[in-house]
Structure 1
Amino acid sequence: MAAGSEKKPVLGMVQANGTDESCVTFVLHEEDHTLGNALRYMVMKNPEVDFCGYCITHPSESKINFRIQTRNGLPAVEPFRKGLTDLLDVCQHVLNTFETTMKKYNDQKQTPME
């Protein structure tokens, strides 16, 4: 890292004046549609979420604005955190399945044919 340069934040929150915690826009830096679409899907599975969407601010910027609106006074940060955790669990399952399958394939390939 160059001298004098600051580390940019990875996550920020934007909340309009006069709104409560149930309506928040999260700003994710250095992210794109790969995370945005998958995370939106996971968050929308929560029945307490009224709206969840994201947009890429500009093609030359690598950040997304990720908006969540919830009902019944649920803070938007809760389904956001749960969506990230659930997505991480799904990714770990896919990785484990891939590695297990590759190990079986390689073991089978090394076994001599009779």
Structure 2
Amino acid sequence: MSGDSMDDVRLDQPEDINYDHGEEILLGGNKKLVVLPGGSSHAASFQIEKEDHTLGNALRYFVNKNPDVEFCGYTIPHPSETKMNIRIQTWEDTSTTATDALRKGLTDMIEACDVISEKFADARDEFNAQNS
């Protein structure tokens, strides 16, 4: 996700998504993420191209932190394919959709990475200042 911001992500509103036929979601203009067919607004599977356990495990963690999420899990269908599938189910009594939960998980992960990068840069600068 380096270089991509949430402004580059097109996630249609839940009522606009045709879950029976799947919906493409674009990241920086490339077909990166697809909503797989057979889902509903509260339970959907997404396929992300060119990703593996590095993103899958972190994204699963951040999505599961959302109290509106009932279940989130991911799988790599085959080690020789560069695809990751993630399944998200939200509680039926919430207004949060699976797409909303994915968006929040990605946003939370980006914010955590920004904090880590900032702390690393501060510690590096402090170390360099002490050793110069």
**Which bin holds the TM-score, normalised by the shorter protein?**
0.7 to 0.9
Number of equivalences: 102
SS at match of 1:10: strand
Aligned pair 1:81/2:103, yes or no? yes
Hey, what does 2:6 align to over in structure 1?
none
Q: Considering only CA atoms, is the larger Rg found in Structure 1 or Structure 2? A: 1
Runs of 4+ in 1 over 2 A off after TM superposition: none
Structure 1 unaligned residues grouped into runs of 5+: 1-6
Residues 8, 100 of structure 1: alpha-carbon distance in 2 compared, 3 angstrom cutoff: closer
1:91 and 1:109 mapped to 2: Cα distance? 27
Structure 2 unaligned residues grouped into runs of 5+: 1-28
Aligned pair 1:32/2:52, yes or no? yes
Higher RCO structure (Cα 8 Å, ≥6 apart):
1
Superposed, which structure 2 residues align to 1:58-77 within 5 Å?
58-71=78-91, 72=93, 74-77=96-99
2:128 and 2:96 mapped to 1: Cα distance? 48
% identical equivalent positions: 43
The CA deviation at 1:10 is 0.5
TM-score by length of 2: 0.73
CA RMSD in angstroms, aligned pairs only: 1.4
TM-score by length of 1: 0.84
1:15 and 1:75 mapped to 2: Cα distance? 15
